[in-house]
Structure 1
Amino acid sequence: MKEIQLLSILFFLFNSSLSAQDTISTSSPFSEARYHYFLKTIIFFDEYLDTDNGSFNTTQVRVLLPIGNKAWNLRFDLPLISANTNSVNKTSIGDVGMGISYIPFLQNSNGIAFRARVYANSAADPNFGTGKWVFMPAAIYGKYLFDKKFLWLSTLEYQGSFAGQDERTDISVTVFENVFFYFFGKNWIAADAAFRYNVILKGFQNNAFVEFGRKITPVNLVYIHPSVAFGGQKTYNFGIEAGILVLF
């Protein structure tokens, strides 16, 4: 019986992979330029956050690489963080991250993806990192709405620490995020709300943003989005992020 169950699971994954592979050339929820799984992508962005104790600025490079039949995707994050607070005024490398995504199901109008990320305890300064190794598994559902004028992406993610400095606070956060994109011509507008419950602090660390973006060439995009945090344990007050995407 166990052998039959294993064969059934492998058969499902194999056929699901073929489903994703067969549709990657069509317009699908995970092939939109702002959220592309099937092209090599480099993202440069800068994010400013205002906190009660000063400000933090993160300049980050993110690389996305499709692999295999392109139902798989690798991700690498390298952040450079600057702080201007009462106790810190410097710039250094933050926690470096990497991840992998898999799309078991994909159609023209909807799709499902799974993602796993790991962030290392690599910050050059304790103030610029968590002091922990953090594992982040997630499930993502994407669906087009209203004749593909709108794209809805819904993500459920857990963030948990599993190693690192004993004196630093453990991490256990559940995130439920929904973002809606509206596309018109070479432009898009997006609205996002993320609800984060921190089990350790027993409070919410939510945030929301609106985004404005535009294709400046067929393979180059720019965007900007202001954000605001809310909840009893919010980590910042307001922020603004601007970025450039290069697809190839």
Structure 2
Amino acid sequence: MKKFLPFFLLIFPFYNSLLAQDTINEQKESIYTEARYHYYLKTILLFNEYLDTETGSFNTTQLRFLHPIANKAWNLRVDLPLVSTNTSSINKTGIGDIGVGISYIPYLKHKKDGIAFRARIISNSAVDPALGSGKWVFAPAIFYGKYIKKDHILWIVSLENQMSFAGSDNRSDINLTAFENYFMFILGKNWIAADVAFKYNNTNKGYPNNAFVEFGRRITKNDMAYIHPSVAFGGHKTYNYGIEVGMLILF
């Protein structure tokens, strides 16, 4: 069942190593004697997310590429978004804000729990102001994950802060803290997940929270597909509802 886990690298950085450890375990059980050795796999994630907002819609088609580096306890991530907006006054499509991140796992115990850290830089690279934030953003995060109930349930808690440090003076600063709780239920080749993220926007003093449920299935040994509808709630929410569909390929 851990072969599902790399998919969730889009949210939590140490799932990919858990899958890879299962693969290595078939060849060398003693790999678990050293907790710092965590073997990532190369991963491509392609997904499309549609968001309904008060003024129209916002659609993002994104390619995410992950590659192990150093001693494979580290992982490099690159996000390439194609964004479309559709409102009464704006209808544009183009490259959005490109992001680069790195993840590190200082501790991971097989079939038990793990800790991970991630840092991302989201660039001010959108081809049009309507397609990006207009800011350079630094986003550090910490994660803790634990298997519950004989590996059938996985719980992840995370804390991330997004802070702008450069960019257009005409755009609002970004200072957002997100506390997220995620549960995944594994059912053979399928999974069901639920997530609630509580957020505080220190710029406008709002609470743009959101939640989603997710349904996924392993198609082949290295390919997985999923769909998840979401809803936003709280003051100053950034959208009303959304739906995301994606596919993940390991190689």
TM-score range for the pair, normalised by the shorter chain length: 0.7 to 0.9
Letter in 2 for 1:32: L
1:33 aligns with 2:6: yes
* TM-fit CA distance, 1:31: 7.9
Letter in 2 for 1:189: I
Letter in 1 for 2:179: F
Q: Which aligned runs of 4 or more in structure 1 are off by greater than 3 angstroms?
A: none
Alignment counterpart, residue 83 of structure 1, candidates 55, 74, 85: 85
Residue identity over aligned pairs, in percent, reads: 62
1:65 aligns with 2:67: yes
Map of 1:212 onto structure 2: 215
Asked if structure 1 preserves the Cα contact closer than 8 Å seen for 2:227 and 2:244, the reply is yes
Map of 2:22 onto structure 1: none
TM-score, L = length of structure 2: 0.86
Which structure 2 residues correspond to residues 141-180 of structure 1 after superposition, within 5 A?
141-180=144-183
* TM-fit CA distance, 1:33: 3.0
Map of 1:226 onto structure 2: 229
Q: Secondary structure at the match of 1:34?
A: helix
* TM-fit CA distance, 1:69: 2.0
* Larger Rg belongs to: 1
* TM-fit CA distance, 1:172: 0.4
Map of 1:185 onto structure 2: 188
Map of 1:98 onto structure 2: 100
Asked if structure 1 preserves the Cα contact closer than 8 Å seen for 2:157 and 2:179, the reply is yes
Letter in 2 for 1:235: T
Partner Cα separation in structure 2 for residue 181 and residue 39 of structure 1: 21
Deviations 1:71-110 (A, max 9, x none): 1011000000011101211211100000000000110110
Letter in 1 for 2:74: W
Asked if structure 1 preserves the Cα contact closer than 8 Å seen for 2:176 and 2:199, the reply is yes
Gaps of 5+ in 1: 1-26
TM-score, L = length of structure 1: 0.87
Letter in 2 for 1:136: A
Map of 1:203 onto structure 2: 206
Partner Cα separation in structure 2 for residue 128 and residue 195 of structure 1: 25
Gaps of 5+ in 2: 9-15, 18-39
Q: Secondary structure at the match of 1:213?
A: strand
* TM-fit CA distance, 1:145: 0.5
**Count, aligned residues:** 221
Partner Cα separation in structure 2 for residue 178 and residue 186 of structure 1: 23
